[in-house]
Chain A
Amino acid sequence: MTPILRVRALLKHFVVHNVDGRTVEGLCGVDLDVHAGEHVALAGSSGAGKSSLLKCVYRTYLATAGSIELQVSSGNVVDITTLTDREMVLLRGRELGYVSQFLRAEPRRTPMEIVSHAAVFRGIDASDAPEAAAAALTRLQLDESLWDVYASVLSGGEKQRVNLAAGTVAPPRLLLLDEPVSALDPANRDAALAMIEDLTGLGVAVLAVFHDIDAMSRLATTVALMDAGRVVRTGPPSAVLPELTGVAR
Chain B
Amino acid sequence: MTNPTDEPDPVPPVDLVDHVLRVNGLGKLFGKLTGAAIEGTGPERGTAKHAATNTVVAAWDVSFDVSPGEAIGLIGESGSGKSTVMRCLAGDLEPTCGVATMRRRDGSIADLFEMTAAERRALRVSDLSIVYQDPAEGLDLSITAGGNIAEPLAAVGFRHFGEIRERAASLLERTEVPIGRMDDLVREFSGGMRQRVQLAKALANQPVFVLFDEPTTGLDASVAAGVLDLIRDLLDELGIAAVVVSHDFGVIDMLTTRCLVMHHGRVVEQGLTDQLFEDPIHPYSQRLVAAARA
Contact = CB atoms under 8 A, between A and B. Distances in A.
Contacts of A62: 271, 275, 279, 281
Interface string B103-123: 000000000000000000000
B15 to A, nearest CB: 13
Interface stretch (B146-154, B168-176, B212-220, B283-291): B283-291
A192 B272 CA distance: 29
B274 interface: yes
A243 B229 CA distance: 50
B6 interface: no
Interface string A75-115: 00000000001101100000000000000001110000000
A88 B276 CA distance: 14
Interface stretch (A14-22, A37-45, A132-140, A231-239): A14-22
B257 A89 contact: yes
A216 B56 CA distance: 59
Interface residues of A, number: 18
B9 interface: no
Contact of B286 (A17, A60, A61, A107): A17
A85 B271 contact: yes
Contact of B272 (A16, A85, A107, A117): A85
B93 interface: no
A248 to B, nearest CB: 25
Contacts of B281: 15, 62
A88 B70 CA distance: 13
B67 A86 contact: yes
Given A16-B286, A89-B70, 11 more contacts: A17-B282, A17-B286, A59-B275, A60-B274, A60-B279, A61-B275, A62-B281, A85-B270, A85-B271, A86-B258, A107-B225
29 contacts: A15-B281, A16-B286, A17-B283, A17-B287, A55-B278, A55-B279, A59-B275, A60-B272, A60-B274, A60-B275, A60-B278, A61-B275, A61-B278, A61-B279, A62-B279, A85-B270, A85-B271, A85-B272, A86-B67, A86-B70, A86-B258, A88-B272, A89-B257, A89-B258, A89-B272, A106-B254, A107-B225, A108-B229, A117-B236
